[in-house]
Amino acid sequence: GYACDIYPARRKPATGTDDGHALAEWLLDLPKPAALLAAMDTRACQVLELCEAIGVRVPQDLSVLGIDNDELICNGSVPTLSSIRRETERCGFIAAGMLDRLMRRETRTREVFLYGVKEIVTRDSTRTCPLSDDPVAKKAREFIRVNACVGIGVPDIVKHLNVSRRLAEIRFQTAYGHSLLDEIQNVRLERAERLLKETDLPLTEICTRCGYSTDVHLRRIFKARFGCPMRDYRKAHSKEDQEGCVRNCVAFRAVKS
């Protein structure tokens, strides 16, 4: 496998600035390209800020992955932060069940409970597609990421960029290897997939939330992308959730006292 370096963080740094300088030096010394897993999204966001300050490109030189999938932090960072979404709901149910047994004064024993990783939410900090320095392409992509699911089209992007449609299409295609319309569809399909996995919303409501006026088009392109109808996709992933967290399990010990 690959070598693994661990940043020797201080438990109580003298100042945030001191810790920032030490972390920046450590990041500069890492062999590139590299990948970094932070213990939490706030720490990962600090890494992204330091990388920008010291000239380390993300994700070209360093891919950054956080933990917790705090959407306010992840979507507000530059670039947007990929993060591990844990099964916090399952953990909450386990804790509530343990509390219930304590209140019922059942036998006090040491137990091991398991909960796992729900998914990795991929954003720009780990994306394999190139990040462009072209200001027109970059501005277009940011606009699409924010507005794709409110029903925008290519004309709306062109208006936002204040350039000709042909120029916008050429610059975006050159930067990212696909069209503006493809990017809109990619964002919408990502959201549709997430809503199918995480909610019980009717398919018609999912279509509306993904920016489609009718569900016919989304059903067709979803099947083309994922190889099965939306309903079957939801059923398959619901079955995985019911079977529990076999993959990537994290154990914690709970002592009833």
Residue 98, classified by CB atoms within 10 Å of its CB into exposed (0-12), middle (13-18) or buried (19+), is middle
Residue type, 86: R
| Domains 16-127+246-255 and 135-226 belong to one CATH topology | no
Give whole-number Cα distances, 98 to 172, 173, 251, in Å. Answer: 53, 54, 15
pTM of the predicted model as reported, rounded to 2 decimal places: 0.62
pLDDT for 112 equals 80
Q: What is the DSSP track for 167-201?
A: HHHHHHHHHHSS-HHHHHHHHHHHHHHHHHHH---
CATH number of the 135-226 domain = 1.10.10.60
Q: Which of 1-10, 21-30, 142-151 has the lowest mean pLDDT?
A: 1-10
Q: Which residues are within 8 A (CB) of 20 and not within 5 positions of it... i.e. 6 or more apart?
A: 46, 50
CB < 8 Å & 24+ apart, contacts of 45-53: 45/73, 45/77, 45/81, 46/20, 47/23, 48/77, 48/78, 48/79, 48/81, 48/125, 50/20, 50/23, 50/24, 51/27, 52/78, 53/24
What is 16-127+246-255's CATH topology?
Answer: Rossmann fold (3.40.50)
Task: Flag whether pLDDT at 151 surpasses 70.
Answer: yes
* Whole-angstrom distance, CA of residue 193 vs CA of residue 121: 11
pLDDT digits (tens, 9 = 90+) for 181-221: 999 999 999 999 989 988 899 999 999 999 998 889 999 99
Model confidence at 1: pLDDT above 70: no
**pLDDT (tens digit, 9 = 90+) per residue, 217-246?**
999 999 999 999 999 999 988 755 544 443
Per residue in 92-131, pLDDT (tens digit) is: 888 888 888 888 887 667 778 777 888 888 888 998 666 6
Is the predicted pLDDT of residue 257 greater than 90, yes or no? no
Q: Give the chain's end-to-end CA distance (angstroms, integer).
A: 42
Grade residue 41 by pLDDT with cuts at 50, 70 and 90.
very high
Q: What is the pLDDT of residue 248?
A: 38
- Taking 60 as the threshold, does the pLDDT of residue 6 lie above it? yes
**CA dist 7 to 24, 87, 196, 245, Å?**
11, 26, 38, 29
Q: Which two tokens stand for residue 12?
A: 């109580």
Contact between 127 and 65 (Cβ < 8 Å): no
- The 10s digit of each residue's pLDDT in 55-82 is 999 998 999 999 999 989 998 898 889 9
Please report, for the chain, the start and end positions of each structural domain, with discontinuous segments joined by +. 16-127+246-255, 135-226
Tell me which range, 8-17, 76-85, 103-112, 165-174, is most confidently predicted by mean pLDDT: 165-174
Q: Point out the least confidently predicted range of 38-42, 74-78, 86-90, 154-158.
A: 86-90
